[in-house]
């Protein structure tokens, strides 16, 4: 009998990470040992997810969370790579592979491998190369409930901020926008998923409208 590969999942707090986790949990070739996320000033960049919310997601998933502090939003590649590798190594978890929710074959897989494989780990890409429309439908069909928390207004109208990721939301997107937001048009927060033991209880507050990015703010409800 082949021993399953121990894998840690790169966790952004959004739908792609959740679908990646679900696929690995359902794959007997892998044993998920934890999640890791990078953050700055107590938030995950782009998603703008507070670390306390990511911690609650990990609790609902029943998995340990490794948090890796970044020095800035866009650190130099060598700095980012070193922080990730050192964070995973110092986590105390037995790791043989690192999984990512990347979808596009645009060089990102080679970039991930360039620093993960020299560290002695495999790279796993359960979603890579899949059709975005099919993946969007799979996300909905799998029972992942997702809030659209960030909009890049240079690519998508800010009125989409704070909407739920539904079939109607996807149908209403302009043709120029990827249905999974894989070009950075929008980012999401997962509040419910088959890999969670319950639902993340949040209450939407204000929509923070910065010059380029709009953020749907919210609070955890106890």
Mean pLDDT in order along the chain per 10 residues (222 residues) = 94 97 97 97 92 97 97 92 98 98 88 97 96 96 97 97 98 96 96 97 96 96 84
Specify the pLDDT at position 5: 98
Strand partners, 183: none
The label of the residue with tokens 């190369």 reads 129
Confidence (pTM): 0.95
Q: In the CATH scheme, what is the code of domain 5-124? A: 3.40.50.620
Q: What is the DSSP annotation of the chain?
A: -PPPEEEEEE--SSHHHHHHHHHHHT-TTEEEEEEEEEEBTTEETTTTEEHHHHHHHHHHHT--EEEEE-SSSS--HHHHHHHHHHHHHTT----SEEE------SSHHHHHHHHHGGGT-EEE-TTTT--HHHHHHHHHHTT-EEEEEEEETTTS-GGGTT-B--HHHHHTS-TTS-TT-TTSSEEEEEEE-TTSSS---EEEEEEEE-SSEEEEEEEE--
**Which sequence spans correspond to the domains of the chain?**
5-124, 138-220
Report CA Rg, the chain: 17
């Amino acid at each position: 009998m082949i021993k399953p590969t121990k894998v840690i999942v790169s966790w952004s707090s959004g739908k792609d990470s959740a679908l990646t986790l679900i696929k690995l949990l359902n794959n007997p070739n892998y044993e998920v040992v934890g999640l890791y996320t990078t953050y700055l000033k107590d938030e995950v960049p782009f998603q703008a997810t507070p670390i306390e919310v990511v911690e609650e997601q990990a609790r609902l998933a029943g998995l340990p969370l490794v948090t890796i502090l970044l020095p800035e939003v866009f650190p130099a590649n060598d700095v980012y790579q070193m922080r990730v590798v050192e964070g995973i190594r110092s986590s105390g978890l037995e790791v043989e592979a690192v999984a990512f929710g990347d979808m596009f074959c645009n060089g990102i897989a080679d970039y991930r491998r360039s620093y993960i494989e020299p560290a002695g780990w495999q790279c796993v890409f359960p979603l890579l190369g899949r059709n975005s429309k099919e993946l969007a439908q799979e996300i909905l069909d799998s029972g992942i409930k997702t809030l659209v928390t960030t909009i890049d207004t240079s690519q998508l109208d800010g009125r989409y901020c704070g909407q739920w990721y539904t079939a109607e939301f996807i149908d209403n997107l302009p043709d120029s926008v990827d249905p999974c937001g894989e070009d950075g048009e929008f980012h999401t927060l997962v509040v419910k998923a088959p890999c969670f033991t319950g639902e993340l209880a949040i209450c939407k507050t204000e929509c923070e409208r910065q010059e380029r990015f709009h953020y749907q703010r919210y609070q955890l409800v106890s």
